[in-house]
Amino acid sequence: MKFRRKQRENVDINLVSLIDVVFVLLLFFVVTTTFTRETQLRVELPEAVSGSPAEDQQVKQLDIAINAEGVFSVNNQLLPKNDLSSLMDALQKESNGDTNLPLSITADGKTQHQSVITAMDAAGKLGFSHLRMTTVEAAPTH
């Protein structure tokens, strides 16, 4: 006896809706992601109403961070002493003598003025010309 086989239906999985969901999730994560630079020092930046936003550069840059107690770090490396000579040595080592690198000073809002002046003095003595002070945008007042 010869039985007839039923023809099997082709089962397809519709991937269009799956791809839509993946794109929506991707868009959600891209929009909600914040990019912050983590440092070893806790620094609360002072506020400024005017100023230009920092450009994203692929060029190597130097960053001097100063916390409220006046402790220095250069490119997230804590300095053993908080004086002008150790700051200059660290800047010279990190820059390899290239004074055309952009240099940003990130100081806590409660940092003593002398610590910021020491950082600017070290940059000036070494010949850095591209100096930037980092701030956060002030909240609008009504």
Q: 39-73 pLDDT, tens per residue? A: 555 666 666 666 555 555 456 788 889 888 888 98
What domain range is 96 assigned to? 62-136
pTM score:
0.56
Question: What is d(CA 134, CA 7) in angstroms, rounded to the nearest whole number?
Answer: 72
Does residue 123 lie within any of the structural domains?
yes
CATH number for the domain that contains residue 122: 3.30.420
Q: Domain tally for the chain?
A: 1
> Structure tokens of 47?
């506020």
Please give the pLDDT value at position 21: 92
Burial class (CB in 10 A: 0-12, 13-18, 19+), 38: exposed
Question: What is d(CA 41, CA 82) in angstroms, rounded to the nearest whole number?
Answer: 14
Does residue 126 lie within any of the structural domains?
yes
Asked whether the beta carbons of 107 and 139 are under 8 A apart, the reply is: no
Please give the pLDDT value at position 25: 94
Does residue 75 lie within any of the structural domains?
yes
Does residue 21 lie within any of the structural domains?
no
Does residue 110 lie within any of the structural domains?
yes
Helix segments in 3-96, DSSP class H: 16-32, 84-95
Segment 1-44, tens digit of pLDDT? 677 777 777 777 788 888 999 999 999 988 888 766 555 556 66
